[in-house]
Structure 1
Amino acid sequence: MSDDSQRPIVVKKIKKGGHGHHGGAWKIAYADFVTAMMAFFLLMWLLGSVSKGNLKGIADYFQNPLKVASSGGEGAGDATSVIKGGGQDLTKQTGQVKKGDPPTEDSAAKDRKRLSDLKKKFEALMDDKSQTSTKLKQFKSQLKLDMVAEGLRIQIVDEQNRPMFKSGSSELEPYAREILHEIASLLQEVPNALSLSGHTDAAQFAGGSAGFSNWELSSERANASRRELIAGGMADSKVLRVNGFGDKVPLNTENIYDPVNRRISIVVLNTEAERDIKEQAGRTTDQSAAASEPASAN
């Protein structure tokens, strides 16, 4: 039997091979990932800065490219209208005329306070017992003050035995002129623009030239009041609109022949109403500002 202790000891060493060289493929994949993320965030930023109208136009393009291409338009949100898009509501698909900046909450509050103070001043002059000479106090029953959506409304109404105008005419009675002169001095104290409206009762106009009706009579009376306010010291530039409503907006709806329906309505406009009137007339705020600037010499 052989002696095992004499056998040679064999030590086997296993050499583990290193990882093979994989090249730079992982770097390319990582670069593609980073590029894709940058493109994604850039897309999110662009979508966040684009108006809703343009987003709607982009969506319309992918749904129906031919329609948008044939309609044209800069922002696609105005592609269905010949009027270029814009305005405050960018969700509209049809074009909008760009509006001026709306009044801020602070400026609107100042506007309301100014008109409220003017109303209190009118009421004080009509009620103050010491102001015995004021025409506003003497004709208090013919003056009506109230706040409406457009601003402060001052209505001068007829009474049965004390009309403002001569019958069927736009000629003011002497006391009506004095009322308008006193009102003019107060209106001149505020920067707000004015709107004047003339109204008649439902009695049909019986005299005058052919075709002359309550429409013409109410318009001429409103314009006569405008001239008298200017004669009383109010700036002509303060008047923004002169209307004639005929007998279509009676003050006393239960009796359309009531003398109180014959009246002149003066509205001291707030800033929002003034802007709306200009836009309805087709004049934007930007154009109004440009018109108020002095023309340069050629």
Structure 2
Amino acid sequence: MVANSNVPIIIKRKKVVSGDGHHGGAWKVAYADFVTAMMAFFMLMWLLNATTENQRKGIADYFSPTIPISRISGGGDGAFGGESVLSKDLLPEVGNLPQPSQAQAQLLGAEQDEISFNQVMEALTALSGESAVIDRMLRHVITRVTDEGLIIELFDLEDQPLFIDASDVPTGVMQDLTAMIAQIVGFVSNDLAVEGHVRSQPIVLLKNQNWEISHSRAQAIRLLLQQNGAYPQQMNRVTAHGDREPQYKNPLSVRNNRIEIIVLRSGEGKSF
């Protein structure tokens, strides 16, 4: 009995594992994914059979993040007739954007005209004092603003006419004046008009040349303007007034011999 008491006692513990060892609980996750995929598949099949073509296109557009503007129907039949508010057909085109009213356009044009007129007058004023020659030439120039535009008037003086005798040939002073004015008005976009005026003759002539002379002088100044910086596209009209619009009450005054270069306001119609 004493000898047997030294025999070691062996306790064997058995570990119980639920289920098959090579599966564990991972199969549940896989099965859940499979069921979810099958449910999505059957839902897709149901949607394909239960929706119209327009509705399917609307659903497809919803899942297309690369399309910034819906070009097709949203699938509904509400106020937009199935179109999205971002549909290309419902967005305003560039040409359909609200345009300024006529009154607003006229106001903007008037403001731009005033800027152009001030630029021309300031440029003419800046010429004064540069030299005695320029100051003598500027004696022939006055400006005024009317409803028609800015009028630059070039007129004869008693001691210095701007055309040779009674012809349409400009003197050197007139050529220099016209060249300076052409460079100034070439910087504005307004149209130009040239008008010729002459004084009345002291006696009744058999053939009155006032109309012809006033017209040919205006044409000569138009050509000089274009040759010295004014653009041909700026020329709106050339007009002859003969002796019908004297500047002075005395119709025989040489002061009535003048050329008017008019910087027209915006909106003045072309005359051909």
Query: Is 2:118 the counterpart of 1:116?
Result: yes
Q: Does 1:268 align with 2:267?
A: no
- Aligned match of 2:248: 252
Match of 2:220 among 219, 224, 228: 224
Secondary structure of the 1:104 match is: helix
Deviation at 1:106, TM superposition (A): 2.2
Q: Which amino acid aligns with 2:251?
A: I
Counterpart of 2:182 in 1: which secondary structure? helix
Residue type of the partner of 1:259?
V
Task: State the one-letter code of the partner of 1:132.
Answer: S
Shift of 1:163: 0.6
Are the structure 2 counterparts of residues 206 and 229 from structure 1 closer, same or farther at C-alpha, using a change threshold of 3 Å?
farther
Partner of 2:143: 145
Asked whether the 8 Å contact 2:202–2:252 carries over to 1, the reply is: no
Q: Distance in 2 between matches of 1:198 and 1:204?
A: 19
Question: In 2, Cα distance between the equivalents of 1:190 and 1:238?
Answer: 9
CA contact (8 A) 1:146 1:154 kept: yes
CA contact (8 A) 2:156 2:254 kept: yes
**Cα distance in 2, alignment partners of residues 162 and 156 from structure 1:** 12
- SS of the residue corresponding to residue 111 of structure 1 reads helix
Letter in structure 2 aligned against 1:202:
S
TM-score (norm 1): 0.53
After TM superposition, list the pairs within 5 Å mapping 1:35-46 onto structure 2.
none
Match of 1:49 in 2: none
Question: Matched residue of 2:259: which SS?
Answer: strand
The structure number with the bigger radius of gyration is 2
Contact 1:142 1:156 in 2 (8 A): yes
> For the Cα contact (< 8 Å) 1:205–1:214, is it kept in 2?
no
Q: Assess, with a 3 A threshold, how the Cα gap between structure 1 residues 223 and 101 changes in structure 2: closer, same or farther.
A: farther
Residue 155 (structure 1) aligns with: 153
Unaligned 5+ residue runs, structure 2? 1-100
Deviation at 1:205, TM superposition (A): 8.5
Assess if the C-alpha contact under 8 Å between 1:205 and 1:213 holds in 2.
no
User: Equivalent residues in 2 for 1:60-209 (5 A)?
Assistant: 103-126=105-128, 129=129, 131-132=130-131, 135=134, 137-203=135-201
Q: How many residues align?
A: 171
Superposition deviation, residue 121 in structure 1: 1.9
- Could you say what secondary structure the match of 1:202 adopts? coil
Secondary structure of the equivalent of 1:139?
helix
Shift of 1:124: 2.3
- TM-score normalized by structure 2? 0.58
| 1:107 Cα offset (Å) | 2.7
User: 1:153 Cα deviation (Å)?
Assistant: 0.4
Residue aligned with 2:157, SS = coil
Q: SS in structure 1 opposite 2:187? A: coil
Deviations 1:155-197 (A, max 9, x none): 0000112111111210111121111011100010101110100
Maintained 8 Å contact 1:202/1:256: yes
- Partner amino acid for 1:108? A
* Runs of 4+ off more than 4 Å: 204-207
1:225-282 deviation digits (Å, cap 9, x = unpaired):
11111121221221110011011111112x111111000001000103x23xx3xx5x
Q: Partner amino acid for 1:110?
A: Q
The residue identity in structure 2 corresponding to 1:167 is: D
**Alignment correspondent of 2:85:** none
**CA shift digits 1:19-62 (9 cap, x unpaired):** xxxxxxxxxxxxxxxxxxxxxxxxxxxxxxxxxxxxxxxxxxxx
Alignment RMSD, CA only?
A: 2.4
Cα separation, partners in 2 of 1:205 and 1:166, compared to 1, 3 Å: farther
Q: Alpha-carbon deviation of 1:134? A: 6.5
SS at match of 1:198: strand
Hey, what's the Cα distance between the residues in 2 that align with 1:166 and 1:159? 13
